[in-house]
Amino acid sequence: MVQLVPYSTADPTKIDAIRAFVIKTDPTLPSNMWLYRCTLHSWPQLCFMAMDGEAIVGVVISTVQIHHNNMLRGGIMLLLVRKDYRSCGLGRRLVAQAVESLIDADADEISIVTKTTNTNAIKIYERLGFIRTKLLPNGGGGQSWRMMLLLEPLTEELWDCSSEDCAEACGCGLFSGSAGSLSSCNSGCDHENGQHETSYRTT
């Protein structure tokens, strides 16, 4: 039975174990020790390991930081499941746990970036309510989606797009009201003034 166990600063050797698990499972993922140390020291409560007995078989690591307009933005920085434990719902469990921990950390929104080809990860995020907000070009590595889960209703203060000036500048429809009305801005404009991301689209 695989259990989700929070990382604890009481056992910092787990940082090495997590890093070793990542390097062994997917050598293309970040391996810099300082990255793991800094992240886990800063946000220990946002890291969860999937443990089968003593073995780490999955991990999710998140962060939370102030973003635009004082929004507290959570981010899922790393999600990984051991190959022989995939397709059993473990990835989904880890993301659900990460979302829960970010809600506890008072995040207003959660952002992730995932390759457009990573259909399994996209399925997990969409099932948990994330929506695709921006297509990111990524050099030789292919395109990625930025996906967001809004935990707080949108207000005019949070989204520049709802201001009259901005709407005039980019010519799009207005974002306004709560998250439930996101689909009202489907003009598909790119908001080239850089003040906000592309229009939300529900999928």
Ligand X SMILES: CC(C)(COP(=O)(O)OP(=O)(O)OC[C@H]1O[C@@H](n2cnc3c(N)ncnc32)[C@H](O)[C@@H]1OP(=O)(O)O)[C@@H](O)C(=O)NCCC(=O)NCCS
DSSP state of 1: -
Q: How far is CA 125 from the centre of its chain?
A: 8
Please identify, using beta-carbon distances, which residue of 73 and 86 lies nearer to ligand X. 86
Please identify, using beta-carbon distances, which residue of 88 and 103 lies nearer to ligand X. 88
Residue 179, judged by CB atoms within 10 A of its CB (0-12, 13-18, 19+), counts as: middle
| CA nearest neighbour of 72 among 193, 158, 141, 2 | 158
Please identify, using beta-carbon distances, which residue of 28 and 70 lies nearer to ligand X. 28
Closest separation in Å from C-beta 117 to ligand X: 10
Question: Tokens 């207005």 — which residue?
Answer: 174
Binding site for ligand X (CB under 6 A): 26, 79-81, 86-92, 112, 114, 118, 120-121, 123-124, 127
Distance CA 167, CA 98 (A): 34
Closest separation in Å from C-beta 165 to ligand X: 35
Closest separation in Å from C-beta 199 to ligand X: 22
Q: Which residue is nearest to ligand X (CB)?
A: 91
Please identify, using beta-carbon distances, which residue of 26 and 156 lies nearer to ligand X. 26
